[in-house]
Structure 1
Amino acid sequence: MKKSLLVILIVLSLTSCSKSVLDQLNPNAMPVSQFWKTEDDAQKGVNAIYAMFYQNGGWNRWIYFRLDLTSDEGMSKSPWVELADWTRFNYVNYNFFEGNGNTWKDTYKAIFRANQVLKFVPDIPFADEKKKAAILAQAKFFRAFYYFYGALLWENMPVITDPHLDDPGYTPPAGTLADVWTQVERDLNEALPDLPVTWDNPNVGRPTKGAVNAYLARMYMQQHKWAEAKTALDYFFTGEGKGLYQMVDFKENFRATQENNAESIFEIQFSDANKTGEGDGVNANMGSNRTQFFAPRGIGWSDGQARFWLVQEFKKEKTTDNQIDPRLRYSLFYPDQEKDFGDKIYGRSWEWGADEAWFKKYSRDYYRNNEDYYSEVNNRLVRYADILLMYAEVLNELGQTVAAVPYVDQVRARSKMAPLATAYPAAVLSKDNFRDRLKMERALELCGESVRWADLKRWGDLESQQKVDVVAQRDPDFKNFTVGKHIRLPIPQTEVLNNPNLKQNAGY
């Protein structure tokens, strides 16, 4: 009897406590209804957007193939033929994951995370409303950030501003490039008032007013809205950002030794703390794969390398003390590097082709002899030298060529290059001449920094066969370029097939 009663009591006790003991929520899979409640939830939500920097489709790996290698600065001789084909405009399988699908997926995954923050955080009570506003502003910045790069790649993207969690079958309407630019502009302008000029040390790496104005300027420049771009860039010269940024030792923009320095306006915070696989786990890789894929053969995978015309351009002009442009030393690996500067390549003398080159920026050759998937070197997405060259371009397009020249000269002076009027007197005489020279100034200062594809599009160098033929003289891959088609990527075909509202980009 006592045993029977004991069994009954145990069963009843288990039944009565089932909701509180047995039905525990998984903290790693918290349902939406239970999550967006506290300030800590809001911070975790926005931090999840930052985590997208470490996903393969974006800044961890594949976006460099689109922005650097597809431009006339880069190329691929990868034995992975389909991967190389996607750097030379041979797009056959529009669903090729590493060339297209992964970047599309991770772009919208980041946008989805931003949309969740913007939907749920407004209803969370905060002790400090300014803190809430800053979290929302970061989400708006990143939604704009990912749409900006999406506009450069696919152009005609669906613009989604709600997570649509209650409608898993949601099929967004087709978007146009104009729609995307409108959303980027709206998000950046709304983010601007609630982000600080600088963050405190624990939060360094979050977007500032400088980062927002830089991307506003980039967005306006791609649309040739020069006056609006100047207003955004004025922040650095007559606004709150005046005197805040300055140029540093050139090489320190590409090493882990002086990250978040005075030249940096916005950079991705990479780390080698987690030498594990990619993903969303708490211990997932937070490093960059770029140099593993861009290092010379025998050091990394060498799936991407630089065009040799860059080396030749660096050598066309000597410094004021009759030396080779010092930027070459820290921008590229090339055959005469040991002869010119005394530098070996990851500890090796040159053993590659006589006309081959690789991107040196972000490499770790200064302290190791190989690369891996866990580079801790931050990617400086925007630095002050770029801002100076952007401002010069904008002033020139507004008919203020004389006023534009000093901003280029500031960049040249760091590397002991003579003023433009001395080195290229014709360049300062007209808008067209200045623009032509500025194109090369940007290549010499910024090669391999993921800006060239946007530059070529903005300058109209890909809009006619005659202009494409000029680009093809530097990069033979552009002989495959079809005007009106390859200016943008195809939308992954699975997206088009699964969404009746989408239409494949023209020519595909």
Structure 2
Amino acid sequence: MKKLLIISTVICTLFAVTSCQKDELDLKNPNALTTDQFWVTPDDAEKGVNAIYAMFYKDGLWARWVYFRLDLTSDEGFSQSPWVELADWTRFGYINYNFWEGNSVTWRDTYKAIFRANQVLANVPDIEFSDENRKQQLLGEAKFLRALHYYYAGVLWENVPLVLEPSKPDDLHPQNTKEEVFAQVEQDLTEAFAALPEAWDAAQTGRPTKGAAKAMLAKLYMQQHRWEDAKSTLEYLIKGEGAMYSLVDHYEDNFTHLNENNSESVYEIQFGDQRRGGTGEGQDASVSTTRAQFFAPRGIGWSDGQARFWLVNAFKQEQTSDGKIDERLRYSLFYPDLFKDFGDKIYGRDWEWGDQEAWFRKYQRDYYRENEDYYSEVNFRLIRYADVLLRYAEVLNELGMTSDAYQYVDMVRARANMAPLATAYPGIGNNREAFLNRLKTERVLELSGESVRWEDLKRWGDLEDQASVDEIAERDPDFENFEVGKHLRLPIPQVEVENNPNLEQNPGY
């Protein structure tokens, strides 16, 4: 099932070889390939692209720490970790800008992924292929992956160096603005869309498609408030040639390993538990995610990440069409009344935690285990069709087409057996602001704990004025530490600023 995982990390050590470029160190190792020796055959190109995918399994990215930045820093989550510095980095206590787990490792792994993509894009064009279409697909994959990593760099740090060629240790790259970074993301995704197929055969599951490129473009355009561009891009997925997605019948199928890469998945990071090594560059390196271990309740996992209890209350504000609790709550959160409401225990246990505590249930493995470990095989659904539908509703509303937007929210609500939005909230009407306010809640109910909330808050401008930050702080006290104009972006690791005179620390730091 996890077709890419078997080969994704085999040649990762190749890229360490290229880091020593000085003449006095230019010794030939008969047991290691040089860059000139490697980039020769189509098979080399395949391995080079697989090495980019391998970065998903590194600590700084989707194996672990990125969830702390996107879920726990938002108002949906927080940390009570006894590791105080780790917890501080979810509540804007950025004292040591070089803190490895909070900042530096994600920066490092982001640029390692970009470096690998750049190697493919620099070297593969010169390799002769008998199948030119496959060559273009590989280049499209590399552009998609480079764009993905630069997109999240733009969301997290904003003003980062834009490196588009294989870098050398002594390079001092100039700093770019978020706008320049996003312009490159747009170019890469546009070119990737042209090269990628609409679908892959089963053996290639996990590679990006045209639909994935369009969905990433839509995210980009929405962050830039380019509503018309976002509208036409999303319509490819909803009404156009890429309209091949649909909501699965069972909401929970989006968060377990039992029905992965289903009709709702637009782009999914493939995880597996077949290798039990660490997260380095060895051939036994893990291809798992450790999110479940770090987000599980105390006594089950490390419990370094928790959910804010206001999420539980949000689910209970409205009943289903037959007078029951929204079942999405059941599969989204662990909370004190989970057994009372739905008959579910927590990893086989009765509730033994605080009466105002909650944890994210999505991507946890309580449905077949009684504990967690570092080797979760549950794929991460980076983009799913429900998100696409809610984004399209948001875009239509921003363009003054509020009456047309209702049907796309209703498609998501209907799966949860919720009444049509106009029936449940007739007072909204065609009021753009009222519709957006309700849509903010709809996104929480459908997408909480799925690493979209931080970019949502930034897109809505909720982090840009004190009044809206104060409102967020009422449901998440960590935002009492939030400084407007400063904390909407991370500090650049200080060691990078000190080692590169072309970099300036982000404003306010």
Match of 2:133 in 1: 130
- Are 1:461 and 2:466 counterparts? no
Provide the C-alpha distance between the structure 1 equivalents of 2:261 and 2:235, rounded to a whole number of angstroms. Answer: 22
AA at the equivalent of 1:120: N
Query: Map of 1:409-420 to 2, 5 A cutoff?
Result: 409-420=410-421
Provide the C-alpha distance between the structure 2 equivalents of 1:268 and 1:62, rounded to a whole number of angstroms. Answer: 15
Match of 1:77 in 2: 80
Once the two structures are TM-superposed, the CA of residue 352 in structure 1 deviates from its matched residue by: 0.1
- Are 1:86 and 2:89 counterparts? yes
What are the Cα deviations for residues 214-268 of structure 1, in whole angstroms up to 9, with x where unaligned? 0000000000000001111011122112244333310000000000001001001
Q: Aligned with 2:382: secondary structure?
A: strand
Match of 1:192 in 2: 193
Q: Aligned with 1:267: secondary structure?
A: strand
- Are 1:395 and 2:388 counterparts? no
- Are 1:117 and 2:120 counterparts? yes
Q: Aligned with 1:95: secondary structure?
A: coil
Provide the C-alpha distance between the structure 2 equivalents of 1:243 and 1:110, rounded to a whole number of angstroms. Answer: 29
- Are 1:106 and 2:103 counterparts? no
Match of 1:364 in 2: 365
Provide the C-alpha distance between the structure 2 equivalents of 1:355 and 1:187, rounded to a whole number of angstroms. Answer: 45
Match of 1:9 in 2: none
AA at the equivalent of 1:388: L
Provide the C-alpha distance between the structure 2 equivalents of 1:333 and 1:53, rounded to a whole number of angstroms. Answer: 27
**Bigger radius of gyration:** 1
AA at the equivalent of 1:330: Y
Once the two structures are TM-superposed, the CA of residue 25 in structure 1 deviates from its matched residue by: 2.9
- Report if the CA contact (8 A) 1:420-1:428 is conserved: no
* Paired-residue identity, %: 64
Gaps of 5+ in 1: 1-22
Match of 2:430 in 1: 429
Pairwise CA RMSD: 0.9
Once the two structures are TM-superposed, the CA of residue 129 in structure 1 deviates from its matched residue by: 0.6
AA at the equivalent of 2:236: Y
Q: Aligned with 1:376: secondary structure?
A: coil
- Are 1:142 and 2:153 counterparts? no
Gaps of 5+ in 2: 1-27
Q: Aligned with 2:428: secondary structure?
A: helix
- Report if the CA contact (8 A) 1:295-1:371 is conserved: yes
Once the two structures are TM-superposed, the CA of residue 276 in structure 1 deviates from its matched residue by: 1.6
TM superposition score normalised by structure 1: 0.94
Match of 2:37 in 1: 34
Query: Map of 1:302-451 to 2, 5 A cutoff?
Result: 302-451=303-452
Query: Map of 1:217-256 to 2, 5 A cutoff?
Result: 217-256=218-257
Provide the C-alpha distance between the structure 2 equivalents of 1:64 and 1:427, rounded to a whole number of angstroms. Answer: 34
Where in structure 1 do 4 or more consecutive aligned residues deviate above 6 Å?
none
What are the Cα deviations for residues 123-161 of structure 1, in whole angstroms up to 9, with x where unaligned? 000001100000000000001000000011000000000
Provide the C-alpha distance between the structure 2 equivalents of 1:248 and 1:263, rounded to a whole number of angstroms. Answer: 10
What are the Cα deviations for residues 395-435 of structure 1, in whole angstroms up to 9, with x where unaligned? 10011000000000000000000111111112233110000
- Are 1:57 and 2:60 counterparts? yes
Once the two structures are TM-superposed, the CA of residue 375 in structure 1 deviates from its matched residue by: 0.1
Provide the C-alpha distance between the structure 2 equivalents of 1:376 and 1:400, rounded to a whole number of angstroms. Answer: 41
Provide the C-alpha distance between the structure 2 equivalents of 1:244 and 1:302, rounded to a whole number of angstroms. Answer: 35
AA at the equivalent of 2:121: L
Provide the C-alpha distance between the structure 1 equivalents of 2:29 and 2:455, rounded to a whole number of angstroms. Answer: 50
Match of 1:273 in 2: 274
Match of 2:508 in 1: 507
Provide the C-alpha distance between the structure 1 equivalents of 2:162 and 2:41, rounded to a whole number of angstroms. Answer: 29
Match of 1:47 in 2: 50
What are the Cα deviations for residues 102-143 of structure 1, in whole angstroms up to 9, with x where unaligned? 000000000000000000000000001100000000000001
- Report if the CA contact (8 A) 2:334-2:358 is conserved: yes
Once the two structures are TM-superposed, the CA of residue 279 in structure 1 deviates from its matched residue by: 1.2
Provide the C-alpha distance between the structure 2 equivalents of 1:347 and 1:485, rounded to a whole number of angstroms. Answer: 43
Provide the C-alpha distance between the structure 1 equivalents of 2:214 and 2:77, rounded to a whole number of angstroms. Answer: 28
Q: Aligned with 2:383: secondary structure?
A: strand
- Report if the CA contact (8 A) 2:245-2:266 is conserved: no
Match of 2:30 in 1: 25
Provide the C-alpha distance between the structure 2 equivalents of 1:428 and 1:412, rounded to a whole number of angstroms. Answer: 17
Provide the C-alpha distance between the structure 2 equivalents of 1:337 and 1:270, rounded to a whole number of angstroms. Answer: 28
- Report if the CA contact (8 A) 1:226-1:394 is conserved: yes
Match of 1:204 in 2: 205
Aligned residue pairs: how many? 482
- Report if the CA contact (8 A) 2:245-2:265 is conserved: no
Match of 1:3 in 2: none
Once the two structures are TM-superposed, the CA of residue 303 in structure 1 deviates from its matched residue by: 0.2
Provide the C-alpha distance between the structure 1 equivalents of 2:505 and 2:212, rounded to a whole number of angstroms. Answer: 33
Range with bigger deviation, 235-244 or 383-392: 235-244
Once the two structures are TM-superposed, the CA of residue 176 in structure 1 deviates from its matched residue by: 0.6
- Report if the CA contact (8 A) 1:247-1:384 is conserved: no
Match of 1:160 in 2: 163
Provide the C-alpha distance between the structure 2 equivalents of 1:183 and 1:412, rounded to a whole number of angstroms. Answer: 36
AA at the equivalent of 2:176: G
What are the Cα deviations for residues 359-406 of structure 1, in whole angstroms up to 9, with x where unaligned? 000000000100000000000000000000000000100110000000
What are the Cα deviations for residues 170-209 of structure 1, in whole angstroms up to 9, with x where unaligned? 1100111111111100100011011011100000110001
What are the Cα deviations for residues 10-62 of structure 1, in whole angstroms up to 9, with x where unaligned? xxxxxxxxxxxxx8732xx3210100000000000000000001000000000
- Report if the CA contact (8 A) 1:405-1:428 is conserved: no
AA at the equivalent of 1:129: E
AA at the equivalent of 2:149: Y
- Report if the CA contact (8 A) 2:230-2:395 is conserved: yes
